[in-house]
Amino acid sequence: MTIAYFLTSNDAAFAEPLMPRLMGRAELLGASLFTPDKAEDPYVDDEAPPAVMVQIDVADVSALDALFADTEIRGLIEAAGPSAKGDALEVSAFPIAGVDDPGFRTAPMSFVVRYFAPVSDENLFRSYYLENHPPIMADMPGIRNVFCYVPAEWTSSIKIPSSGCILGNEVVFDDLGGLNAALASDVRHRLRDDYKSFPVKPGPNSHYAMQRVDFRPQEV
């Protein structure tokens, strides 16, 4: 299991200089840069997505602490502006039929979902979701990856507040057309039925289609 630090902001200017600086750090496993697109979902129509989201992958929270001890990286992240939110989340990849390595992204379109507090019983909410929702998502036509994210036990030393995320999800497709086809399928209705069956009422949540570029340290 890896740790992903997600940083969102309505000011994208910080991201371009941040990516190459991250690539120079031994702790980094990889990083991704997300920019918003627009999906056609029959159940949700979220507006005002963040201008950018950066994902920073490391092995554990000690590696995250070491990465953020780099004063240049700290400065670039803290330059993300007053709208910035940051969360360290544990990553789980779920099996997909016909996909040999479900933890490795091979397609650039992500549908990014976040659930936020308040929820009356966060542990029950997460456990039901993780047991029931990903196997349904794995049936979506054209699906390439299913990921879930839960908060890591970590105290941030960086001056970016948390978003309050208690659970994240991401499904990956070849392109926007593939995502929209999956959202128009019967599987999307099955997911909605499961949503209605949650034993705990969900709190606020967001659903954003985002184009993604992945970076590996050896690429720079």
Domain that holds residue 30: 3-219
**How far is it, in rounded angstroms, from Cα 29 to Cα 3?**
10
For the beta carbon of residue 140, count every other beta carbon within 10 angstroms: 24
Does the pTM surpass 0.85? The reply is: yes
- 54: tokens are 């950066």
Instruction: Say whether the peptide bond before residue 134 is cis (omega within 30 degrees of 0).
Output: no
| CATH of residue 116 | 3.30.70.100
The helix (H) or strand (E) run that includes residue 87 is strand 85-93
Mean pLDDT by 10 residues, the chain (220 residues): 95 94 95 97 93 98 96 95 97 96 96 97 98 98 98 93 97 98 98 96 96 81
Angle, CA 190 vertex, CA 186 and CA 192 arms, to 5°: 115
Phi, psi of 138 (to 5 degrees): -65, -15
The helix (H) or strand (E) run that includes residue 178 is helix 176-183
Q: Check residue 1 and give its pLDDT.
A: 75
Sign of CA dihedral 190, 196, 201, 205: positive
Q: Check residue 218 and give its pLDDT.
A: 64
Asked if 102 and 146 count as a contact pair (C-beta separation under 8 A), the reply is yes
Asked if 130 and 94 count as a contact pair (C-beta separation under 8 A), the reply is no
> 2-60 pLDDT, tens per residue?
999 999 999 999 999 999 999 999 999 999 999 999 999 999 998 899 999 999 999 99
Domain count, the chain: 1
Q: Check residue 35 and give its pLDDT.
A: 98
